Each structure stands twice: as structure tokens, then as C-alpha cells.
Amino acid sequence: MTINTKYGEIKLPCMEPIIVPIEKVQANNYNPNNVSDQNMELLLTSIRDNGFCFAVVTIYDDVLDKYVIIDGFHRYQIFKDFLEAKELPIIVLHHDMRQRMAATVQFNRARGVHQVELMGDLVQALVEQGASDEDIAKHLGMDPEEVFRLKQVTGIAALFKNQTYSRSWGMQEVPDGI
């Protein structure tokens, strides 16, 4: 399936997912992407909360008789190791090795990074919607300290109302020589 754009026809492999036995899928041997344990937990939470929204992108290797992952290794890993799924939704591209490697990097880099100020605005909006710091931390894959820092970035005192604060440090005289 394709659509016409000002750049010509664009393929829509996203419209052609298939479901395959998970043991027929394997990682590639060149992906430079690494995901922290915290982000893996967030990915698991995302899949549980939202379902499996993005099929794993692969090529079929007829020598191996396997689907080799181009993009989605961590989704595959969650499905296989944590959810113990027997099947996996995939999309199959028809790329040579050069195209596969380029696609892996393109997919990884195109996701971008989160900007602190925009994340602060997002935390502010969630607080205004009534979300607790604990809920924000859990569903955005943050620790409570990060939520606190992002609330500080927005500079809005209202975000800190109903906050429990620890006692401040107190000064104490220390004898000379200690």
C-alpha cells in the first residue's frame, strides 16, 4: 500500500503487519541502541497501559529462516522475556544489509530526546489534571526526585502545594580539633 505525497509515492508497510511465532524472530548484530532498566520498565508499563501499538520492524532472512529485527528489539524483548508471549506482530521490509543498518539508526535517532523544559510543562499539566507525583513517576518512567526537579523547572509554586517536606538541616557547634 502507498500514498501519494509531494515527494512521490510513500510506502505504508505499517498497514501490513503480520503475526509470527516469537521464536522465528531474532535480534540483529549491529544495533547501537541501549535502553536503561528504568526505560525498559517504562516500556513494559506502556505496553500494559496502551497495548502493543508499534509492530517490530524486520526483514526475512531466508538463510536463517528467521525475521531479523531492524527496529523494535526492546519491544520484542519485553514481549518475549517479560510477557512470555508466543507470537509477535511484525512488519517485514525488503532491505539489503546497508539499508537495514541505515534504517535501524534512522529509527533510533528520529525518536529524538525529551527536552527538560517541555517535560516540565508536561509534568505541570499532569499535576493540574490531578495526577499525584507517584502516578507521574510511575507512568512517565521517572523517579520521584526527577518529578520534583521538573516541577522546579516550571517555576510555578502551585505545583508544590500539598507537598511533604523534610526538615531542614540544623547548624551545630563542633569542638575544635574534630
Q: What is the CA radius of gyration of the chain?
A: 23
Is the same domain home to 121 and 96? no
> What pLDDT is recorded for position 176?
78
Mean residue pLDDT of the chain comes to 86
What Cα–Cα distance (Å) separates residue 67 from each residue in 20, 54, 73, 89, 107?
Answer: 9, 16, 12, 11, 18
Show the DSSP H helices in the chain as ranges: 37-50, 73-77, 97-110, 116-128, 133-140, 144-154
| Residue 157 confidence (pLDDT) above 70 | no
How high is the pLDDT of residue 96?
92
Does residue 120 sit in the same domain as residue 82?
Answer: no
As a whole number, mean pLDDT of residues 56-65 equals: 97
For the full predicted model, state whether its pTM sits above 0.75.
no
Close Cβ partners of 85 (under 8 Å, ≥ 6 residues apart): 22, 79
Q: Could you tell me the residue range of the domain that residue 52 belongs to?
A: 11-110
Indicate whether 60 belongs to any domain. Answer: yes
Give pLDDT tens digits for 92-150. 999 998 899 889 888 887 876 667 777 788 788 888 888 888 888 888 778 888 888 88
Listing from the earlier edge strand, what are the strands of the sheet with 18-21?
A: 18-21, 87-93, 56-61, 66-71, 25-26
105 and 18 share a domain? yes
Q: Note whether 102 and 131 are same-domain residues.
A: no
- Asked whether residue 79 carries a pLDDT value surpassing 90, the answer given is yes
Do 17 and 99 have their domain in common? yes
Residue 177, pLDDT above cutoff 90? no
Residue 167 lies in a domain: no
